Amino acid sequence: MNTLTNRQKEIFDFIKSKISTEGYPPTRMEISKFFGFKSPNAAEDHLKALKKKGFIDILSGTSRGISLSDHDDSIPVIGLVSAGSPILAEENIEKKMPALPISSHGIDYYLRVKGDSMIDVGIFDNDLIAVNKDMKVKKNAIVIARIDDDVTVKTLIEISSNKVVLKAENENYDDIVLNPNKVNLNFEGTCVGLIRNIS
């Protein structure tokens, strides 16, 4: 994405967001209105630049003739994680989606949440959480933890060399208290954003 100017990246992200949320790309007029351009010609110039750099294709003769090219660095959506498999293994990937502008941090994958253990922080069954796998894991962050073969989403409330406490944000569930020397514990990333119930 380094080949794009800041404004080109903003427009590219806007196009991806529109396609993801509405199922079709924006018109030149919609792009102009959203970014405050005086005319659709300014939007057209940016679209031509994105096409030249290989990020989109433009179909002539239609107001919504914009499609994402194969250059697009879409983000995998991880569904139910197979026991013991790497989280980004092919069998765990449901589909791919654009990197929506919901976080200032990079997004490595979206994880589909199963269950109601995090409802008190607004994360519900079937939501997608955006995950950065390289952020330093910190206390009070919502983390994706692999405990032996199982992957879970919880709030990290304590971490030391001999004790890790993962909190469910639902009073019906107990905290998970672990000794990292006695179980195989790995952090698969930190939650950096949320998308509500996209099917």
Catalytic machinery residues? 117, 154
Are residues 185 and 164 in contact, defined by beta-carbon separation less than 8 angstroms? yes
8 Å CB contact between 89 and 82: yes
Q: Is 105 left (phi over 0), alpha (psi -120 to 50) or beta?
A: beta
Distance of CA 173 to the CA centre of its chain: 26
Is 174 in a helix, a strand, or coil? coil
